[in-house]
Chains A and B, each alone.
Chain A
Amino acid sequence: MTDKERFVPDEGMAPASTAVPAAGQMEELHQPPRSQWLDVWDQFKSHRGALMGGALFLLIILAVYAGPLVWDLEATKIDIRARNQGPSWAHPFGTDQLGRDMLARMMAGGATSVSVGLTAMLLALFLGSFIGVMAGFFKKLDGPLMRLTDLFLALPLLPLLLVMMLLFREPLNAAFGPEQGIFILIVISIGVTSWMPTARIVRGDVLALKEREFVMAARSIGTTNQKLITRHILPNVLSPIMVSATLGIATAIITESSLSFLGLGFPPDFPTWGRLLFDATDYLQQYPERVFWPGMAISLTVLSVNYLGDGLRDALDPRIRGR
């Protein structure tokens, strides 16, 4: 898989001397052939911030998804006698005004926030790559699709998101139940309002790739458009898509928390980091630490993802790589 991906894009640029390497010659070369992804990994390793960001992000994912297995207090269990407690061994993050364990709520909230971030990012990525590839590859579609992208870019997004939340909450709640309904609503509304940057970048890259010799070669042996896109174009636009993916997670998590913070996101008994922060602002004077934990969790997640994206961008850029 990786070898094939490497071979195809380099075909056009390979110097004449290595155009037809015999098997025997290959073994005599000093360095063993390296796959593209090994180079990427080497460059990525040298970016300390990105490594730390990646590790932190993995740690956060592990904590929010596997954490509840270890810390098996229920996030929604009300224990009114133990309300408003400070940190203790029984409740490391304390309890809230209804005596619910804050650590359990943080993990449950994180699971929701991170899931929303990942799913919304995947949706935006799919839409963005699809529209970008279509616009770049088919000349007829280029004009209309790019006008559509411009149109979406001109929409005031946060107000529209708020309006969408207001409008479609009830019907979706009725159809899928309150939790599933709002999850679907938030993911879809974040997804359809954040695909534009990806589409633009992918379109630009596809336009350039389309003129390259390997695409012409593939076309000349009768490759169909569909195969051309999936086998030759898509693997080559993977790196901008991956960078957009990391940035997409960050924006999706922040957008979801903003919506919850404005009171238009998940329902009150369904914790997410934004919701926890919103609830805690009422008790700001007495218990400022309750604001601190969810806010810190959001900021750290986004910070780690941003650093990860920064490192990926450097690692995937062949002009920087190897210097």
Chain B
Amino acid sequence: MLTFTIRRLILAVPTLLFISLVIFLLLELAPGDPMAQVPLTVPAEVKEKMRLALGLGEPMHIRFWKWLVQFFWIEPQVLIDNIFGTSLAEGQLRVISWQTRSPVMDIVVQRIPQTLWVVGTAYVVAILIALPIGIYSAYRQYSWFDQMGTFVSMVGFSVPPFFSGVLVIVIFSVQLGWFPSIYDTTHVVDSWDAFVYQLKQMIMPVMVLALQITAQLSRFMRASMLDNLNQDYVRTARAKGLSEYVVVMVHVLRNSMIPVVTVIALGIPSIFGGAIITEQVFKVNGIGQLLIGAIQANDLPMVQTLTFIFAVLIVLFNLIADVLYGILDPRIRYD
């Protein structure tokens, strides 16, 4: 198991390097000019100097190398500085956003809490709803509950978030006026009323995201339970005289959770990156919105860094899912 993990970790390094190169080359082809926003009255030679100041004058491979050094060597040092109060990275050039002229990672750190709050809550809510639905649907296969569950998850698959989001805004904030349609990220929770307001503004985005995730997870849970319910060990457990609750909730559930846990782990990167559209609909200024803004403003270092962070998360959680699978299921041998 350990050798497998180490081998995969080592394999992940070239993969990530290659991905960062792909992203870099793709951005390199960008026709957009970071100087496009500068007024026309600025003379051409000054613009050229500004371009050089952004580091655009050097050849492609040097800029890629610089980005790699900044991201993998200098940024971790900054992190250590912030945690332990040391000054390792003092005076070193960090990845600078062209939009705001401030370090990209600082902005990312500012934006992460909003995304984590909304999308993370949605993920937890979805898991809490999906697992019981999946278990009961499988236990009573083809009952009306199961049919309903199938239909609801089909709808959850099929209704895109930009429609369900707008739809709940129409119903709950335009027609009924219950919840605010825009998520206010400057809101500070310091009293009971403020907490209630926070809850109110979170309900709609969480609902929209949770519907999607629930749809997928409950299908998985159901399929996995169905695979196990007809196994011999279940019959043995029943024949031993164990109560139905113990048979289903202990024997079957523990075995069925194995694939579901890995699916949950695989979905975690989407907490950070996948909610781009939902954030856009509810005007949550999280990571997704940051990316869209950066793309529209031609802020290449920001786009490069954000996309690469998403890639790192995907690779990392793929690895975690594989390792989890091996730990939870003793039949799986990777060696």
**A interface with B by C-beta (< 8 Å):** 49, 150-151, 153-156, 158-160, 162-164, 166-168, 170-171, 250, 254, 257-258, 261-262, 264, 274, 277-278, 281, 284-285, 288, 291-292, 295-296, 298-300, 302-303, 306-307, 310
Q: Is B311 an interface residue (CB 8 A)?
A: yes
What residues of A have a CB within 8 angstroms of the CB of B23 in the complex?
A: 160, 163
Known contacts A159-B273, A262-B277: A303-B315 contact under CB 8 Å: no
**B interface with A by C-beta (< 8 Å):** 15, 18-19, 22-23, 26-27, 29-32, 154-155, 157-160, 162-163, 166-167, 169-170, 174-175, 269, 273-274, 276-277, 280, 291-292, 295-296, 298, 303, 306-307, 310-311, 314-315, 318
Q: Which of A155, A170, A254, A277 contacts B22 (CB 8 A)?
A: A155
Interface of B, helix, strand, loop or mixed by DSSP: helix
Q: Which of A168, A288, A307 contacts B154 (CB 8 A)?
A: A307
What residues of A have a CB within 8 angstroms of the CB of B15 in the complex?
A: 150-151, 154
Closest chain B residue, CB of each to CB of A310: B154
Q: Which of B29, B170, B280, B295 contacts A284 (CB 8 A)?
A: B170
What residues of B have a CB within 8 angstroms of the CB of A170 in the complex?
A: 31
Q: How far is the CA of A114 from the CA of B298 in the complex (A)?
A: 31
Contact B162 A261 (CB under 8 A): yes
Closest chain B residue, CB of each to CB of A278: B162
Known: A274-B162, A296-B163. 19 other contacts (CB 8 A): A153-B318, A156-B269, A159-B273, A163-B27, A166-B30, A166-B298, A167-B27, A250-B158, A264-B295, A277-B162, A281-B166, A284-B169, A284-B174, A295-B162, A298-B163, A299-B159, A299-B163, A303-B154, A306-B154
What residues of B have a CB within 8 angstroms of the CB of A258 in the complex?
A: 160, 162, 277
Contact B166 A163 (CB under 8 A): no
Q: How far is the CA of A281 from the CA of B173 in the complex (A)?
A: 14
Q: How far is the CA of A299 from the CA of B162 in the complex (A)?
A: 11
Closest chain B residue, CB of each to CB of A274: B162
Contact B32 A262 (CB under 8 A): no
Q: Which of A159, A167, A284 contacts B166 (CB 8 A)?
A: A284
Known contacts A158-B274, A262-B276, A295-B167: A166-B32 contact under CB 8 Å: yes
Contact B170 A303 (CB under 8 A): no
Contact B26 A163 (CB under 8 A): yes
Q: Which of A159, A250, A257 contacts B310 (CB 8 A)?
A: A159
What residues of A have a CB within 8 angstroms of the CB of B30 in the complex?
A: 166-167
Contact B18 A151 (CB under 8 A): yes
Q: How far is the CA of A303 from the CA of B150 in the complex (A)?
A: 12
Closest chain A residue, CB of each to CB of B174: A285
What residues of A have a CB within 8 angstroms of the CB of B295 in the complex?
A: 159, 162-163, 166, 264
Q: How far is the CA of A154 from the CA of B163 in the complex (A)?
A: 27
Interface of A, helix, strand, loop or mixed by DSSP: helix
Closest chain B residue, CB of each to CB of A159: B307
The minimal Cβ–Cβ distance linking B326 to chain A, given in whole angstroms, is: 18
Q: How far is the CA of A151 from the CA of B315 in the complex (A)?
A: 9
Contact A306 B157 (CB under 8 A): yes
Known contacts A160-B26, A261-B277, A303-B155: A154-B166 contact under CB 8 Å: no
What residues of B have a CB within 8 angstroms of the CB of A299 in the complex?
A: 155, 158-160, 163
Contact A164 B310 (CB under 8 A): no
What residues of A have a CB within 8 angstroms of the CB of B310 in the complex?
A: 156, 159
Q: How far is the CA of A303 from the CA of B153 in the complex (A)?
A: 10
What residues of A have a CB within 8 angstroms of the CB of B22 in the complex?
A: 155
Q: How far is the CA of A127 from the CA of B18 in the complex (A)?
A: 21
What residues of B have a CB within 8 angstroms of the CB of A162 in the complex?
A: 291-292, 295
What residues of B have a CB within 8 angstroms of the CB of A281 in the complex?
A: 166
Contact A155 B170 (CB under 8 A): no
What residues of A have a CB within 8 angstroms of the CB of B296 in the complex?
A: 166
Q: How far is the CA of A151 from the CA of B154 in the complex (A)?
A: 29
The minimal Cβ–Cβ distance linking A251 to chain B, given in whole angstroms, is: 10
Contact B314 A156 (CB under 8 A): yes
Contact B276 A158 (CB under 8 A): yes
Contact B167 A306 (CB under 8 A): no
Q: How far is the CA of A257 from the CA of B165 in the complex (A)?
A: 14
Known contacts A154-B318, A162-B291, A162-B295: A167-B160 contact under CB 8 Å: no
Q: How far is the CA of A104 from the CA of B175 in the complex (A)?
A: 28
Q: How far is the CA of A274 from the CA of B277 in the complex (A)?
A: 12
Q: Which of B23, B157, B163, B167 has the most CB of A within 10 A?
A: B163
Contact B18 A160 (CB under 8 A): no
What residues of A have a CB within 8 angstroms of the CB of B162 in the complex?
A: 257-258, 261, 274, 277-278, 295
Contact A156 B154 (CB under 8 A): no
What residues of B have a CB within 8 angstroms of the CB of A291 in the complex?
A: 163, 166-167, 170
Q: How far is the CA of A49 from the CA of B148 in the complex (A)?
A: 12
